[in-house]
Amino acid sequence: MGTGASASKSLEAAALAASTEDLKALSAISPEAKVKLLAGLAGKPVLHYFDVSGRGELTKLIAAVGGVELEIVEYPFKANGASAADKLKAGKMESEHTKAATEMGMDGCGLPILVHGDLKINQSMAVQNYLASIGPNYPKVTPQQVAVDDMFQGFLEDCMGLAAGVILSGGDATLVPVVMEKVLTHLAKYVPKDGFVHGKGTPSTADLVILVLTQALIPFGATLGDGAATCYGKFPEAVALGERAAAFPAVAKWLTNDLCNLKKPPKAARK
């Protein structure tokens, strides 16, 4: 049944060896805490992604905030298009990451791929939301707040798809600032003058999305080019929120990690 089944067996074994007091304590913990305990028994999640920011960086930021220790496997950046249509038109591509995906039983699946115990998933939002759900330090959010976070993620995917299309498929770069401004105009309604989107002491996914939208080199800085300052200059509160998220201790620490690619080009292009 996946990670939950394997972890449950481990938990049952531990329970058999536990004292009455231990069992009482275990039964008293919340369902949320049990999910995180079971996830912990599955070992470190392993994130497979390219050696570039793209869709993988939000995942890493969420893990950093939540206190989830990730093992990260990087692959040289290689793609045959941005959209499903582009990729089908270009034909099947052989690369390090496609071979690895096949070996993991995820043939045809794009990155990111997350492996955690018996669990194997891909698709950016699924990976991001899973790591948020198991992070012991991730802020406790209501269903309404989760919905807002999901909305921010959806807008990030919209911007990501368009900007990636410019880099990978020769799309129109003049559309990037148009869409970025449209997205930030809407998201600005949720951006506070101080603190984080949900009013908590810890950033959630929504805040981290703003960090990526306003600071990521690939694909946003690279496609906005010299127009980046003009575009972001129209949204000072969003830029300030991204800076606050970046200054949060767990995020600030992650930003110094060698595996953080937020402001880096693909490894092959680095000097």
b/e sequence 234-252, b meaning 16+ C-beta within 10 Å: ebeebbbbbebbbebebbe
Pairing of strands 119-122, 46-50: unpaired
Q: Is the pLDDT of residue 52 over 90?
A: yes
Q: Which residue has the higher pLDDT, 271 or 250?
A: 250
Residue range 165-186: average pLDDT? 95
Backbone angles phi, psi at 49, to 5 degrees: -155, 170
Distance CA 118, CA 90 (A): 33
Residue range 143-168: average pLDDT? 96
CB 162 within 8 A of CB 182: no
Q: Is the pLDDT of residue 13 over 80?
A: no
Residue range 156-160: average pLDDT? 97
Give residue 60's identity as a one-letter amino acid code.
Answer: K
Q: Is the pLDDT of residue 93 over 50?
A: yes
Mean pLDDT estimate for the chain: 88
CB 203 within 8 A of CB 194: no
Distance CA 248, CA 201 (A): 9
CB 48 within 8 A of CB 73: yes
Question: Which range has the worst mean pLDDT, 37-51, 174-188, 193-207, 249-263?
Answer: 37-51
Residue range 162-182: average pLDDT? 95
Q: Is the pLDDT of residue 7 over 80?
A: no
Q: Is the pLDDT of residue 73 over 90?
A: yes
pTM: 0.84
Residue range 29-35: average pLDDT? 65
Position 2 scores a pLDDT of 39
